[in-house]
Every structure is written in structure tokens, then in C-alpha cells.
Structure 1
Amino acid sequence: MTALLAGTWWMTHRRLSALLRRPAVLVITLVQPVVWLFLFGGLFEKVVELPGFGTGSYLDYLVPGVVIMNAVSLNSFAGMGTIDEIERGTLDRFLVTPVRRGAITNAGVAEQAISTAFQSAVIIALGRAAGAHYPGGAAGLAVLVAMAVLVGVVLAALSNTLALLVRDRNTIIGLNVMLLLPLTFLSSAFMAKGLMPGWMRHVASGNPVSWALDAGRAALSDDPDWGSVAAHGGALLALTAATVGLAVLSFGSYQKSR
């Protein structure tokens, strides 16, 4: 365990040092969620007048949706970094050192989690500046950021698994483009589930993106529903553990093929 923790620390330090040398990446990737926030916030402002929407401000409803969807889009392409390391030979060199394979995976998870948390905080601040309210206070916002991190790690782990197994950029890009819209619009990111068609509502209920949104919004409400937070957050945490475990196992498959 000590070796795993030490390896995770140094591998995370390496990845964060590389990220800090190119901070423009974090800024550039914020452009899309900022567009979502202000464009959709203005475009669908009157949708809250529909009976049964359940909130008086669309911006209040939208901010958690943008936070979670930014986590999805930010982390879906994490496997591209793994492809870069495979092509440079960096990953092969790490796999013949004493560093644990779990440490390599954990470092990627830590980097994506920190990036996601930072961008989530920026979006929350921009939403507040635009007039959004967060009745759940600091605790509710902490839950929302945690849910964004968890759903981001799920997508990053799956992207890395795919990169290790297929080692093809076009496959990763194609699958991500194909999945991004269904994950977005078959969730409660932009529309209350009660106003969706029946079949779409059932799909959204099984969508991990909706789990993150349901937990975040439950924690941010005037009267936080901690039971809903625990149920949806627990399901998302279990899925996170499973996908990270899958990413670690994929290193074995990759190593055997070398």
C-alpha cells in the first residue's frame, strides 16, 4: 500500500507539472461550458413557466447541468493523453519500472479530478455572477463538485481503457462524439425529467449523468434531500470504482500485447 501511495504521489506530481506548463488548456476548454451557460440560460429562460418544471429560475436549474456536462466533455477524451504516451513510448518505460500499474491509473484519475474540480468552481462562480442562487450553500456546492468529479472519473477511466485496448485515436473520437449527445440530452441536464416523454424519462433515470445531477440538485435545494444524495451518489461512487478497476485491468492486457 505504501508503494502504491508513493507511486501515485509521484506520478500525479508528474502529470500536474505537465498540466501547469500549459494552463491555456484549462482555459480553452472552459469556452464551451461558458457558451452553454449564457446561451442556453438566455434561450430557455421562459421554460420554467411550463407547469411542473419545478423551479422559478432556469439559470438556477442550468448551472448544475453545465457543471456536470463540462465534466463529461472534459474527461471523455482523457484517452487521447494515453495514446500520446503510448506513441512516445513513455507508457512502456513506466510499465518496466517498479511503479505499480494502479499508481499510473490513480495519477490520471487525480489529474482529471483536480482539473474537473477547478473548472466546476469557475462555472459556479460565473453562474453566481450571472444571478444564479445556491440555497444549499457551501455543502450543496461541495456535493455538486464531488458529483462532477465522480462522473468525470467514470468517463476518463472508460476513455483510458478504450485507449489501452484499441490504441486508435479515430475510434476514441468517434465513440465520444456518438455518446456525448445521448449522455447530454437523455439526462436532466437541460430539462426536468417530469416534462420528458415517458421512454426518455426512463432512460434518463438509468443515466449516470442524471445520477450526478439528481444528487447535486438535491443538495443545492432549499431543503436538501440527503437521502437522494446518498442513493445517487452511492451508485455513482460504485460505478466509479468499477470503471477505475477496469482501467487498471486494461494495463495487463496492454502489457501482454507488447
Structure 2
Amino acid sequence: MSSDTATSADRAPTVYVPSSEALATVLAPGARPPRPSPLSASLTFSWRALLKIKHVPEQLFDVTAFPIIMVLMFTYLFGGALAGNPRDYLQFFLPGIMVTSVVMITMYTGVGLNTDIEKGVFDRFRTLPVWRPAALVGMIVGDVLRYVLAAVVILTVGLVLGFRPDGGLLGVLAGIGLLVVFSFAFSWVWTFFGLVLRSEKSVMGVSMMVLFPLTFLSNVFVNPSTMPGWLQAFVNANPITHLVSSVRAAMAGTSDASSMMWTMAWSVVFVVVFGTLTMYRYNRR
């Protein structure tokens, strides 16, 4: 009895080791699916951004309620003092407040990115066999819908209040197109901050510290010629000033080649500089 027990204890248990062919049959019964293209991967992440809005529709308050409040408040607050009546001031003011509202909501791209990083979502994305920048590009492309929606809301409110664009439909579309292109490029600034800063509150605080001088120290509310010389120097070099002048000219049915050239140049600079810095930081995070 004891010898039989010892023999059983010394005998190694039988372990079935499947062959590579058997594993391949179970794990990969069909052909391996092709790797998604950069465009397909980016659009998939864009759809994810839209689904987040579907499940949390309160996210649209900043592109609906906020622009309406901005238009009504500043039109009736400054219109009588600066132009004699709110309607005349609205002709000058509405393209500027459209730019201000849309540019200010670009910061939520960085805030959303930082939130995903803190929750560990982007660590999962980095393990996927997709084009590495797709998650970032898709997030920004998804936010383009928010920019268009904010611009349409502001334009609708302006038309109700008496704004009449002399450039007609084509001028309005050209102005909104310039605004969306610039906002897409400007969003890369906040993606970089979203990767560098530690919390979403930090991203929002730094964003507001940058956005307030850029939007208020510009030609949005008044003509820069009424400002002191030292302030005019900053205003004339401000990229928001060039954007507002381009959008204003397009909606008025005229052209401002210099401002449009500067707007496109600033857009390229933002994408090249901050897009490169964002990807460098993202790949090494």
C-alpha cells in the first residue's frame, strides 16, 4: 500500500498541451481582419465623442444656452452706448461674439482629454492596433459638430434680433467655415495642455487665463482705433482679431485678404507646433 502511494505521489500529473495548429483553429478560425485605416479609426473615435453627447445631453448647454446669453447680454448692454441702438451694434458685433463663443468652447477638448486620461480610458486606446493619433484626431473632429452648432445658434439668434449679413448665404457659410477651421487648429493647444496638466480643473484654469485676454483684447466689441497705442499693438497681432476680421468681412460680402492670410497662417502654426508637441507627449506619457 505504501509503495503504491509513493509511486502515485512521484508520478507527475498528465497535462494536455495543445499543438499550435489546435490553438490556431480555436483562436483564429477565420482570416485576420485588416488593420483599420487612419481615417476609419479617427471617424470611429469621432462617433464615440458624439455618443458621449447623446448619453449626457447637458454637455450641449455650453453651445446652446451660453451663446444665446452672450448675444443678448452684450447686444443690449453695449449696443445703445457704442452704436446708438442695439440693432446697429449687432451688425458689427455678431460675427465677433460668434468667434468668441466658439473659440472659448474649444478648451473643453483639453478638459475631456484630461478626464479620459485620469479614468484610464486612453491607456486602453493605446493598446489597440490602430493609428496612434486616431484617438486625439477623432476627439477633435467630434468637437467640430459642437463648433458648428454654436455658430448656427448664434446666427439664428442674431437673425431674430435683426442681424442681416450682406454676404448672403455664401458669405455666412464662408465665415462659419473659417471659424471652424481655426477652432479645429486651436483645439490642439488644449490637447497639449490636457496631456501636460494634472487635472481637469488645471486645464480649465489655464485655458481661461489664456482665452480671456485673447478674446476681450481684440476687435470683437469695439474698433481698435479707439484704444491706446500700446494696446493696439497687441490687438493687431492677436490671432482672434484676424479671425474676427475675416469672418466679419465674409459675412458682409467683402474680402479682407490680409486677415484671411493671417488666420490660415495661425491655423497652420497651431496644428504644426501644438499637434507635434501633443503627439510627442502622448507617445511618451
Q: Could you say which TM-score interval applies, normalised by the shorter chain?
A: 0.7 to 0.9
Query: Structure 1 residues 228, 48: CA separation in 2 closer, same or farther (over 3 Å shift)?
Result: farther
Matched, 1:205 2:236: yes
- Mapping of 1:106-121 within 5 angstroms? 106-121=137-152
Q: Which of residues 227, 231, 249 is equivalent to 2:261?
A: 231
Aligned to 2:113: 82
User: Equivalents in 2 of 1:179, 1:230: separation in Å?
Assistant: 22
Bigger radius of gyration, 1 or 2?
2
Q: Which of residues 256, 262, 271 is equivalent to 1:241?
A: 271
Contact 2:242-2:263 at 8 Å conserved across structures: yes
Contact 2:239-2:263 at 8 Å conserved across structures: no
Unpaired segments ≥5 residues, structure 1: 50-55
Contact 2:242-2:260 at 8 Å conserved across structures: no
The Cα of 1:149 is off from its aligned counterpart by: 1.7
Aligned to 2:69: 35
The Cα of 1:168 is off from its aligned counterpart by: 2.3
Q: Bigger shift: 61-70 or 240-249?
A: 240-249
Match of 1:77, SS state, is helix
Matched, 1:48 2:79: no
Contact 1:116-1:149 at 8 Å conserved across structures: yes
Match of 1:133, SS state, is coil
Match of 1:132, SS state, is coil
- Mapping of 1:1-258 within 5 angstroms? 3-46=37-80, 47-48=82-83, 57-222=88-253, 224-225=254-255, 227-228=257-258, 230-242=260-272, 243-254=274-285
Match of 2:133, SS state, is helix
User: Equivalents in 2 of 1:194, 1:253: separation in Å?
Assistant: 47
What's the Cα RMSD here?
A: 2.1
Give the aligned length: 247
Query: Structure 1 residues 29, 153: CA separation in 2 closer, same or farther (over 3 Å shift)?
Result: same
The Cα of 1:152 is off from its aligned counterpart by: 2.4
What amino acid does structure 1 have at the position aligned with 2:61?
Answer: V
Match of 1:100, SS state, is coil
Contact 2:115-2:199 at 8 Å conserved across structures: no
Contact 2:185-2:267 at 8 Å conserved across structures: no
Query: Structure 1 residues 31, 104: CA separation in 2 closer, same or farther (over 3 Å shift)?
Result: same
Contact 1:219-1:229 at 8 Å conserved across structures: no
The Cα of 1:2 is off from its aligned counterpart by: 6.9
The Cα of 1:245 is off from its aligned counterpart by: 3.5
Unpaired segments ≥5 residues, structure 2: 1-34
Which structure ranks higher in relative contact order (CA pairs < 8 Å, sequence separation ≥ 6)? 1
Query: Structure 1 residues 113, 246: CA separation in 2 closer, same or farther (over 3 Å shift)?
Result: farther
Contact 2:109-2:191 at 8 Å conserved across structures: yes
Query: Structure 1 residues 79, 251: CA separation in 2 closer, same or farther (over 3 Å shift)?
Result: same
What amino acid does structure 2 have at the position aligned with 1:48?
Answer: A
What amino acid does structure 2 have at the position aligned with 1:36?
Answer: M
Match of 2:218, SS state, is coil
Match of 1:141, SS state, is helix
The sequence identity of aligned pairs, in percent, is 23
What amino acid does structure 1 have at the position aligned with 2:191?
Answer: N
Aligned to 1:52: none
User: Equivalents in 1 of 2:152, 2:50: separation in Å?
Assistant: 18
User: Equivalents in 1 of 2:155, 2:251: separation in Å?
Assistant: 12
